[in-house]
Amino acid sequence: MRSEDSKTGEWLGQEAWLALDEFARACGVDRGFIITLVDEELVRPAMVAPDWRFGGAELARVRRIRRLQRDFDANLQSTAVMLDLLDEIDHLRRTLECAGLAG
């Protein structure tokens, strides 16, 4: 349900991975919201063992999710559809760039 594009991430400094609670704080949400996003496969932890760890790409994705919810007053299901469409657009743009057709 999500594209694997590390270009959308953010540099997190020396600490490359954030634990669940740190990640939720960095996103400005509670940990339950992050767990819901993972359960709905809208966000995937960069590492799962021994505990979930999140990086910059996931941070950017949660911020995008929150922006879509706020800007469009969208529920999680609507946000998932919008994310799928945005991911597909990103994928198509990368494909055009690789083919030398981007303008």
Mean residue pLDDT across the chain: 87
**What are the tens digits of pLDDT across the range 46-86?**
988 889 999 999 999 999 999 999 999 999 999 999 999 99
Which H, E and C letters describe 7-75, residue by residue? HHCCCCCCCCCEEHHHHHHHHCCCHHHHHHHHHCCCCCCCECCCCCEECHHHHHHHHHHHHHHHHHCCC
Answer whether CATH 1.10.1660 is correct for domain 9-56+75-98.
yes
* pTM tops 0.85: no
Q: Look at the block and give the residue holding tokens 């799928």.
A: 84
Domain ranges of the chain: 9-56+75-98
Residues whose CB is less than 8 angstroms from the CB of residue 2 and which lie 6 or more positions away in sequence, other chains included: 41, 42, 43, 44, 61, 83, 87
